[in-house]
Amino acid sequence: MGIATLGHVELRCTDVEASRDHFHDVLGMEESLREDGRIYMRAWGDWDTFTLALVPAGESAVGHVAFQVEEPADLDRYADRIERAGHEVEWLDPGADPGQGEAIRFTEPGGHRIELYHEMERADVPPEKRSDLKNQPQVYVDRGVGVRRIDHVNLKVPDVDASTEWFREVLEFELREQLVLDGDRAAAWLSVSPLVHEVAFVDADESALNHLAYYLKAERELYRAVDVLKDNGVEILEGPGHHGISQAMFLYHDEPSGNEIEVFAGGYLIFDPNWEPVTWTEEDLPEAVAWWGETRPFSGADDDEADELMERE
């Protein structure tokens, strides 16, 4: 009962073919199918038909973010909670996205389109790609970075508090970590599983994608990933490095349409049912952002302040 996991993310792409080639050739993802100009993709460790939808658009952006719920009845339950919270709910027929059952779609307070569904068909993996590991959807992809599975989405919102509290109260997410600068919640990491986050909100002037993250098979693959990206002429925005928050290893770049992608590994898991959110403040920066490694100014602060905060003494 409740939300089980992040299911997929739709990215709007100014050059959907260039984006597809990047996700396929450089990140090592698989193309599942094409439909109405959209390209559906997944990583080798993703069981679902797709975890990424690339949609042609005039400008790059996150389209919608979809979470899978535990039980069919959760759809009705959440539709009710969302409407009672004053947000409109749209019901989608099965097949609105390939392999997907009935779904609901709505807008969270920050303006992002969110989707919930329960049914999702497993990817149709051709026999020659099946693995002897029966608990793995297909063989490991040795092409490019070879990302393993979708991990999380990080969203810019104008009011971190509003989005965070709405996800906690209405969607029953747990707040795992937060960054509080000058008394304001500048960023928040929330999850429905032992992962530290399936979704994060970070303070910004307007709603936008901060980044979409795919997880690797092992931390070691991150150091291989940076070689692959650089050899392919991809500019590294930040990393490799080790976040304090989430304790995960990071590596950021933009895919060709301009959506930012994080290659992610490591981290820690939360099993404690009595977990209290971990709060990081000014004095914890820059360790909160980067326990080690190259960083950019933290976006959840104005520029001068950010530069100052990120100076290690």
Helix (H, G, I), strand (E, B) or coil at 122: strand
Q: Is 262 annotated in the active site?
A: yes
Q: Locate 216 and state its tokens.
A: 């690797």
- Least separation in angstroms between CB 46 and its own copies: 10
Q: Choose the catalytic residue: 22, 64, 243, 253.
A: 243
- Least separation in angstroms between CB 158 and its own copies: 27
The residues that touch its own copies, with contacts defined as CB under 8 A, are: 4-6, 45, 47-48, 68-71, 118-119, 131-136, 139-140, 142-145, 177, 193-196, 218-221, 223-224, 226-228, 230-231, 235-236, 239-242, 244-247, 266, 268-269, 271-274, 278-280, 284, 287-288, 291-295, 312
Q: Locate 202 and state its tokens.
A: 């970070």
57 or 139: whose CB is closer to its own copies? 139
Q: What is the distance between the alpha carbons of residues 193 and 196, in angstroms, rounded to a whole number?
A: 8
61 or 234: whose CB is closer to its own copies? 234
Q: Is 197 annotated in the active site?
A: yes
Q: Is 118 annotated in the active site?
A: no
CA atoms within 13 A of residue 150's CA, in its CB half-sphere: 28
Q: Are 214 and 150 in contact (CB under 8 A)?
A: yes
Q: Choose the catalytic residue: 64, 152, 242, 253.
A: 152
Q: Is 78 annotated in the active site?
A: no
20 or 253: whose CB is closer to its own copies? 253
- Least separation in angstroms between CB 73 and its own copies: 12
16 or 192: whose CB is closer to its own copies? 192
Residue owning tokens 């995960």: 248
88 or 132: whose CB is closer to its own copies? 132
Please give the order of strands across the beta sheet that includes 3-13. 30-35, 38-42, 52-56, 3-13, 61-69, 113-117, 103-107, 90-92
- Least separation in angstroms between CB 255 and its own copies: 17
Q: Is the dihedral of CA 98, 29, 234, 21 positive or negative?
A: negative
Q: Using CB atoms within 10 A of its CB, is residue 128 exposed (0-12), middle (13-18) or buried (19+)?
A: exposed
Per-residue CA distances from 90 to 3, 76, 148 (Å): 18, 12, 32
The catalytic residue positions are: 152, 197, 211, 243, 252, 262
